Structure 1
């Protein structure tokens, strides 16, 4: 008890030091314009309310010397008591000053939202661990001393109060931070996906994107929410261990040594667990590939019983492989946890039963030691169980990092160019000059097998250009190069005589692919064209089926031909200077095919658009101003006689 004033001065000084440091950093950041000033009634209310929440702690400080020294402590005249009184007053003012300094930083929010949330959460999360640890000391004091029970009950109630309040606040704040992390990680992954070049995106399996966004991000988000619970358990474990050391140094050292050995064992066997996790993730991706194949290719599978049966067998095999791999990781984890539990039980048995026999510990000491050690069980288990969680986080983070690294330097824009509405909307001439492209092999040193070029192509404002050719002649590859999905190996693409970086080419085009996807929301439209939309819906025979409400189609539950007509309307609303239709009329019935070639294309040509269409409809070749033929990766312009 004689060292209590010293401890109080030390703790009080630390509180003041930490409080002053936090407030100093805050004001330096404010001076450097990294923080703003924001004083609201809500913040003032919370600031003053925090002082009221501290009131029970000050009452506790008042009653501690009354309970453990003298019921007349504060009225007694004693030099020894005066020193303790001064130290307790210093500690109380230090605690109040710490709160006032740290809480005042909420009026100066950082522009980085995590700076505003994480430091207060770390401070707040100390209290549940401290409160829980105090319960151990209160219970052992009740058993081993003659302190008045009413004071112990008061301290017990106070610790419970602090624990409940701070756990609730810290868990709510941790959940909020988890939500922030979830949103930011999703945005980070999606932003990087949009930075991929299309040719790289083609090589990424849809199942990988799904498992990263759904599984790997979920693991990181879940861990971010559990991190505070682990942090609180570490605080509690350290305080209880400090209390154990105060009871008996040797047995506590043994307990720490065994705990260290257990954590070391976890680290050594974590490699097997990580390998099993990686394998389970790979099997899940394979299984998800099969599930997506079922969804995408159901009309092919449903036709033939043999095909259905074989695919069903593959699905069952993929499912079994994934769940067996997942079971293997679970079993490895179970073995690790059982070993930890057994080791800790042996440690408790040794320190609580063997050491008292060897060193003649008193019953009071044994009782205190057993209670404190049993209290240590819960935080210890939390820490041990966090080890496999950390392994899962490592695996998931590596998968996400590897995925994000697909965005290589070569994908970035090489030639900065400022595109304005005026130079995008005005295209007088587009030219492809000596352009070549070869598909790159996935395996190094593998020979290049196919490509197109050199290609020379041009089209002028107010022209309709047809691209014809057989399957495999290179028409689709030509489309992808012209609109910037692929980067050419040689040659250049010029618009109005200016070379355009391939990453910007798409800004000039509105494209309907042969395998188009129709979004329900209409993105990137020119709203001034909406005045004509219902006229066009009527013309396209869709007025009684679809409406445009709040910038979205009312339904997409349409036939393939009707969806194609809707895609044509969406393309028209985009109002880009160049239109590229990839076999756009293939799914249209004869009446609408006539409308497409004889009314829509000429109308858009008269508006000054450049219209390029891949087609096999020889009947309508006379509509085109130019006609190019693709054959074996080469392109040539057909004469009028050749068109006929």
Structure 2
């Protein structure tokens, strides 16, 4: 999922080299002063030392700033990539994956802010270790090999511990996906939870508490293991120093001067070793996050269908005829409506028609609307726009449609091409919908607040009409309106839209107003059972 180009990896490595070499030079000077063995021939060793420290400091500032810039650029690009991928997927695919899992993936993205620093820091630490080991070999080959074997044994034990942490972190991410679902239930189902003490208690005791308890124990397990690893790096180094000070001289492998050199170097490489140990914690989290994101995108790619063109470079045309030919839809097996199927449906919608869709709960009305809007793709059959199958260019088809769903979403910002300020059409529609006394400011923020359900749908109607699409689809728009606005909708707004030539498909239960439709189509148990001209439609029983 997350890939850093070879060029950028080279950039991160090159920035690490000068600072590492300067740090090694500082170590050599310190060791030469302590042992009295002059390595650098100069009368101004103190000046050289402080110049090297200052230069290393400046290079570190430059490299760290570059890493910060690159880290945020990396996150920015991949956040856009993930969001774009979501938008290209079909609704049924996202429903199958689960929205709480998507929230978890977005959180995983933030882990990668540490990746560039991890690469640069690891390169610098490894280079420093390599140079110090070379220094060891120069001082005493046999002692250097002994020290390296001990360090390798400690490292092997560390990786064994860390491997178990990787599995535990994967479990934590899965548990947090479930937790996000519970948070979503708590926020969106707040009113329903308020109505039932048993429901609230069950959510907490049977779901939330076990989930958080499992997270607590797993987090504790992981943290304890990371603590062991960190202490291992500290006391393991003391153990190595003990071997150098007490064991190797006794074996006649090191003299007093060499012991001093080894101890100075070991104390100096404590920083790089601790850095590598700390980085392993981040690396483990990045590995788990990358695996989850890669699997998620692979799954999304496998179940997504081609989108066709974006529709932006082709303006919507007329809808002379919209035809369903043997269209059927079956919900994916993992969905909430597993087993329900719609169709096959055969019907034609002609330009300028007003069609009412009726039927009981679970009859297939909403599924039909999802197919009609192009949100769902037919499992069988095809939908034709002006005799052209829309599956080859589904987004172009959607650009013909303005829709208000049963639970319309009012966006937190204006994503449309028009502006509301000084917009005469917007002012006119506000007055028509009797919202001009509710929304008194032309500022865009005035419409980004909480409204009643009826007001929200009237505001959604304003936005839908401002899109000027030839096909208007309404899913029970009038259901949440008071009698005054329900009458206004059927007796004034619909006839006005009909005169404008709009094609209207509306889901409704208001049989008293069927006379304002050209046709009434009834669904029952996923089947289209009647398609009758409005004047002869019997009232709903």
Does structure 2 retain, via aligned residues, the 8 Å contact 1:138–1:155? Answer: no
Pair 1:126-2:17 in alignment = yes
Aligned-residue offset at 1:318:
2.4
Render the CA deviation track for 1:4-33: whole Å, top value 9, x for unaligned.
Answer: xxxxxxxxxxxxxxxxxxxxxxxxxxxxxx
Pair 1:495-2:385 in alignment = yes
Would the alpha carbon gap of residues 306 and 614 (structure 1) be closer, same or farther in structure 2, given more than 3 Å must change? same
Counterpart residue number, 2:31:
140
Does structure 2 retain, via aligned residues, the 8 Å contact 1:437–1:489? Answer: yes
Aligned-residue offset at 1:525:
5.1
Matches within 5 A, 1:244-259: 244-259=136-151
Normalised to the residue count of structure 1, the TM-score between the two structures is 0.77
CA RMSD of aligned residues (A): 2.7
Would the alpha carbon gap of residues 179 and 247 (structure 1) be closer, same or farther in structure 2, given more than 3 Å must change? same
Counterpart residue number, 1:228:
120
Does structure 2 retain, via aligned residues, the 8 Å contact 1:266–1:387? Answer: no
Does structure 2 retain, via aligned residues, the 8 Å contact 1:526–1:575? Answer: no
Aligned-residue offset at 1:470:
0.5
Aligned-residue offset at 1:484:
1.4
Does structure 1 retain, via aligned residues, the 8 Å contact 2:105–2:292? Answer: yes
Counterpart residue number, 1:287:
179
Matches within 5 A, 1:314-393: 314-359=207-252, 361-393=254-286
Pair 1:557-2:468 in alignment = no
Secondary structure of 2:328's counterpart equals: strand
Would the alpha carbon gap of residues 448 and 142 (structure 1) be closer, same or farther in structure 2, given more than 3 Å must change? closer
Q: Rg bigger for which structure?
A: 1
Render the CA deviation track for 1:542-590: whole Å, top value 9, x for unaligned.
Answer: 1133267576654323222111111111111111111110001111111
Matches within 5 A, 1:485-564: 485-501=375-391, 503-504=394-395, 505-524=397-416, 530-546=423-439, 549=442, 553-564=446-457
Of structures 1 and 2, the one scoring higher in RCO (CA 8 A, sep 6+) is 2
Does structure 2 retain, via aligned residues, the 8 Å contact 1:177–1:225? Answer: no
Would the alpha carbon gap of residues 565 and 251 (structure 1) be closer, same or farther in structure 2, given more than 3 Å must change? same
Aligned-residue offset at 1:466:
0.2
Counterpart residue number, 2:342:
452
Secondary structure of 2:96's counterpart equals: coil
Secondary structure of 1:457's counterpart equals: strand
Matches within 5 A, 1:148-159: 151-159=44-52
Secondary structure of 2:394's counterpart equals: coil
Counterpart residue number, 2:532:
638
CA distance in structure 2 between the partners assigned to 1:418 and 1:563 by the alignment: 28
- Range with bigger deviation, 137-146 or 261-270: 261-270
Aligned-residue offset at 1:399:
0.2
CA distance in structure 1 between the partners assigned to 2:219 and 2:129 by the alignment: 32
Does structure 2 retain, via aligned residues, the 8 Å contact 1:436–1:489? Answer: yes
Counterpart residue number, 2:512:
619
Render the CA deviation track for 1:451-487: whole Å, top value 9, x for unaligned.
Answer: 0111122222221110000111010111111111221
CA distance in structure 2 between the partners assigned to 1:223 and 1:414 by the alignment: 33
CA distance in structure 1 between the partners assigned to 2:339 and 2:221 by the alignment: 42
Aligned-residue offset at 1:624:
0.3
Would the alpha carbon gap of residues 325 and 256 (structure 1) be closer, same or farther in structure 2, given more than 3 Å must change? same
Aligned-residue offset at 1:159:
1.7
- Range with bigger deviation, 554-563 or 534-543: 554-563
Counterpart residue number, 1:172:
65
CA distance in structure 2 between the partners assigned to 1:361 and 1:604 by the alignment: 96
Would the alpha carbon gap of residues 418 and 390 (structure 1) be closer, same or farther in structure 2, given more than 3 Å must change? closer
Normalised to the residue count of structure 2, the TM-score between the two structures is 0.91
Matches within 5 A, 1:193-232: 193-214=86-107, 216-232=108-124
Unaligned runs of 5+ in 1: 1-111
Pair 1:476-2:366 in alignment = yes
Would the alpha carbon gap of residues 289 and 464 (structure 1) be closer, same or farther in structure 2, given more than 3 Å must change? same
Counterpart residue number, 1:22:
none
Which of the numbers 423, 430, 436 marks the counterpart of 2:328? 436
Pair 1:402-2:295 in alignment = yes
Secondary structure of 1:586's counterpart equals: helix
Matches within 5 A, 1:266-277: 266-277=158-169
- Count of residues in Structure 1 that have an aligned counterpart in Structure 2: 528
Counterpart residue number, 1:94:
none
Secondary structure of 2:77's counterpart equals: helix
Aligned-residue offset at 1:355:
0.8
Counterpart residue number, 1:576:
469
Aligned-residue offset at 1:197:
1.6
- Range with bigger deviation, 333-342 or 606-615: 333-342
